Amino acid sequence: MSYITKSPWIIHYDGSSCNGCDIEVLACLTPLYDLERFGIVNTGNPKHADVFLVTGGINAQSEAVVKNTYEQMPDPKVVVAVGICACTGGVFRECYNIIGGVDKVIPVDVYVPGCAARPESIIDGVVRALGILEEKRAKMAEKGGK
């Protein structure tokens, strides 16, 4: 993980999940998996966050909240869709109130499959997202330098 130059902070929002993925996201932060040892901190404030974890598909109520949270995050930012619901709508994709996966409303960088997504795969997804974050940062610096 030598490419991490900054402690990445994450923010989590529950689009319309069944909780299964949410508690696995939280489990990543607690002693067994302990993401905090890499400096990854869960924050409640979108303005502090670099990584946006979304669980669950998007429904009519959460659409605006997800968009809003994404827009409030400073650049560069990455979005991780956690769980099959967030990727495609999952078992609920035919429900009348589900619009679909997270990529229907905001651009998604990493998809983490699984129902519920296991903490190991969530961590893997976050680590991949950090690589993408670093690339985006480098691109921004290049643009700024020109």
Interface contacts to ligand SF4, rule CB under 6 A: 17-18, 20-21, 55-56, 83-85, 90-91, 115-116
Residue (of 32, 40, 38) closest to 12 by Cα position: 40
For another protein, the closer of residues 56 and 125 by Cβ is 56
Q: How far is the CB of 74 from ligand SF4 (least distance, A)?
A: 28
Q: Which of 72, 75, 74, 8 is nearest to 43 (CA)?
A: 8
Half-sphere exposure of 132 (CA within 13 A, CB side): 18
CB of 1 to ligand SF4, least distance (A): 26
Please choose, from the candidates 29, 33, 73, 80, the residue with its C-alpha nearest in 3D space to the C-alpha of residue 55.
Answer: 80
- Distance separating the N- and C-terminal Cα atoms of the chain: 29
**Cα-flanking dihedrals φ and ψ of residue 17, to 5°?**
-80, 170
State in angstroms the smallest separation of the CB of 106 from another protein: 14
Residue closer to ligand SF4 by CB (options 21, 66) is: 21
What CA–CA distances, in Å, run from 65 to 6, 119, 138?
Answer: 27, 25, 29
**Residue 127 binds another protein (CB under 8 A):** no
Q: Does 88 bind another protein (CB under 8 A)?
A: no
- Return the one option of ligand SF4, another protein, none that residue 5 interacts with (CB less than 5 to 8 A, by type): none
Give the residues lining the site for another protein (CB under 8 A): 12-24, 26-27, 30-32, 43-46, 56-57, 59, 61-62, 65, 69, 91-92, 94-98, 115-116, 118
